[in-house]
Amino acid sequence: MVESWEPAEFAFRGLQREAGLDSGWRLGHRPSLDGLRGIAVLLVILGHVDNPIMGGHGAYVGVGLFFSLSGFLITALLLDEWAKRARIDLAAFYVRRARRLLPVLTVFTFACLATGVVALAALPAVALYFANWAWILGVDLGAMAHTWSLAVEEQFYILWPSLLAIVLLRGLRAAWWTAIAGAVISMVLILFVAGAGADAHRIMAGSDGRVASLLLGAAVAIAAHRTGRIPWSAPLAACVGACVLVALA
């Protein structure tokens, strides 16, 4: 009964209703997401071997799918926290990211240095998460060239949680439109860059174009929290993004 609620709990429930977070949808463990990861891995592998199915386009689509999954998962977790506490603890979020990534990245970096497969000049770009732009500018990243995708994700994680926390004050609808608007702007921008004659590295690794995939995944997570289910439009959005990347490649 409302009369038995403490004032803080009453205010908390009010914030939930105002933000539209009453659907009860939570991320939890979803085996289907593991299946999507498997498909993304297969596409990346196909993109790096001679195959008659997709040629080199498989890697573009596979990485785009990985980005969409990352945007979905991170946003869903942030919304779970918001629904539970009516706030997002940004400091705790970044601590969790550091604990998850830094140990493996550190070991891998030392292994690359010990075996001589990466130059010292590449380390600042890798350590500060701008390896994608360094790669675009021609810096030889050696065996750590694949960290360009990690850099794109981390740049997204620096900005998106804070922006999400702000727009959530206006509700889930505002958050969804923010993600969609950002994705559209990103796709228009990369089309402009491609039309200007940019090479494949610039199109593939630029954060300005790749953020579209991350934001489409975020939009799906927001829609799931708002409606209580993952919308059927999600596969369509993923297919559209994949087709754009293949066309640009």
Residue 25 reports pLDDT greater than 60: no
Between CA 205 and CA 148 the distance in angstroms is 7
Mean residue pLDDT of the chain comes to 77
Q: How many domains does the chain have?
A: 1
Q: In 3D, which of 113, 86, 117, 100 has the Cα closest to residue 14?
A: 86
In a domain, 161, yes or no: yes
Residue 113 in any domain: the answer is no
The answer to whether position 108 is within a domain reads: no
The whole-angstrom separation of Cα 199 and Cα 197 is 6
Q: Establish if 9 belongs to a structural domain.
A: no
**The pTM of the whole model exceeds 0.85:** no
Residue with more model confidence, 187 or 54 = 187
Examine residue 110 and state whether it is found in any structural domain, yes or no: no
d(CA 89, CA 35): 30
CA angle centred on 138, ends 105 and 212, rounded to 5°: 65
Q: Domain limits at 158? A: 28-92+147-248
Q: Which residues, at least 6 apart from 102, have a Cβ–Cβ distance to it below 8 Å? A: none
**Residue 219 vs residues 10, 13, 125, 184, 200: alpha-carbon distances, Å:** 29, 24, 30, 12, 27
The answer to whether residues 220 and 237 touch, using CB atoms and an 8 Å cutoff, is yes
The verdict on residue 139 lying in a domain is no
Task: Give 179's pLDDT tier (boundaries 50, 70, 90).
Answer: very high
Residue 2 within any structural domain of the chain? no
Distance, CA of 161 to CA of 81 (rounded, Å): 12
Comparison of pLDDT for 213 and 230, the residue scoring more:
213
Question: Predicted confidence band at 237 (pLDDT cuts at 50, 70, 90)?
Answer: low
Residue 166 lies in a domain: yes
Which segments of 116-232 does DSSP mark as H helices, in order?
123-127, 131-136, 147-167, 172-195, 200-205, 207-227
